[in-house]
Amino acid sequence: MSNTETSPTRPRIGFAGMGTMGAYMALNLARAGFPVTIWNRTPGKGADALEAGAVWINSPRELAAASDIVVTCLTDSPQVEEVLFGPDGLAEGFTAGNLLIDCSTISPTKSVEFAQRLASLDVGAVDAPVSGGSEGARLATLSIMVGGDDVDVARAMPVLSAMGKSITHLGPVGAGQWAKAVNQVILAGTYLGVAEGVTLALKAGLDAEKVISALIGGAADSWVLKNRAGRMIDNDYPLGFKLELHRKDLGIGLGLADEVGADLPVATLAADFEDTLLADGHGGDDNAALARMIRRRSGLDG
């Protein structure tokens, strides 16, 4: 069987959210042989998934009715709640035994709340936020952080495996979102560290690209160094993951830090820098645009 043919034994997958990440994730599910239907608030997206055999559905309710498992990849908690429980939402189309896999990055508290509301319909729920940017979504190499009970996670695993490479079950519903908050906090510091190093190399008159090549594989190596240092050198930030979305995610992380009494000075600084960049109209840039602030403060054009 070719990788684009569907198997009658595979669950029917609905996918809501054809953004930068979701469109690739739905495409990879179709390529893996799942019967896939897709929906997006704005029509006209998901063309590659449709070409690979996915079918367009006109509402979340219809998407749920046509699916055994629904994957959501949406912007934030309010959007997830609206698609789930709003008029013509997924909850209106779910039947007992359906499963929700939410790959959005939202508040863990909201994940738990949504799962409890779905449980009253006998619908399972797994929170499975992802990391790896548009590259990881396109290549199906995402890191996926999973929260949910063992039975639901086991059922979700074949679907997650078609979209990601590193899949970790971290605990009950909400645990995936807690881990994603940790991920975004660490990324904030990594972006700032790489930006400072790139800026120092440029100010010193070094060949910054050669410096980065020398560092890759050493103690300073990271995904950001490999994949985003070049953008910081060029001061050009084509979209991979929007800065405005990372700021939203950092807000979740900083809120959770307040809840548990953790002091996160680096993440707080990154959030302040991102607020300035948002005010300057850079919210749609890739998150590597944090380097604009370091360049600006160092007398380079930012």
H or E, element range at 124: strand 124-127
Give residue-wise pLDDT tens across range 45-84: 999 999 999 999 999 999 999 999 999 999 999 999 999 9
Residue 220: phi, psi to the nearest 5? -90, 0
End-to-end, the C-alpha distance of the chain in Å comes to 52
Q: What is the count of structural domains for the chain?
A: 2
Residues 186 and 101 both lie in one domain: no
Residue 128 domain-assigned (yes or no) = yes
Residue 3 domain-assigned (yes or no) = no
Q: How far apart are CA 174 and CA 282, in angstroms?
A: 31
Residues 76 and 137 both lie in one domain: yes
Q: Which domain holds residue 245?
A: 178-297
Residues 98 and 17 both lie in one domain: yes
Q: Give the residue among 84, 28, 15, 89 at the shortest CA–CA distance from 55.
A: 15
Residues 36 and 81 both lie in one domain: yes
Quote the radius of gyration of the chain (alpha carbons, Å). Answer: 20
Which one of 157, 172, 187 terminates a domain? 172
Residues 167 and 250 both lie in one domain: no
Choice among 180, 203, 210, 248 that is catalytic: 180
Give residue-wise pLDDT tens across range 201-210: 999 999 999 9
Residues 139 and 247 both lie in one domain: no
Which one of 139, 172, 205 terminates a domain? 172
Residues 147 and 220 both lie in one domain: no
Residues 36 and 116 both lie in one domain: yes
CATH at residue 74: 3.40.50.720
Residues 200 and 150 both lie in one domain: no
Q: Which residues of the chain have pLDDT under 70?
A: 1-8, 302
Residues 195 and 147 both lie in one domain: no
Question: Residue 102 is which amino acid?
Answer: D
User: Do residues 18 and 44 make contact, with C-beta atoms less than 8 angstroms apart?
Assistant: no
Residues 115 and 133 both lie in one domain: yes
* DSSP bridge partners of 147: 127, 171
pTM: 0.93
pLDDT at residue number 301: 81
Which one of 149, 172, 195 terminates a domain? 172
The verdict on whether 242 is a catalytic residue reads: no
Question: Residue 256 is which amino acid?
Answer: L
Residues 124 and 236 both lie in one domain: no
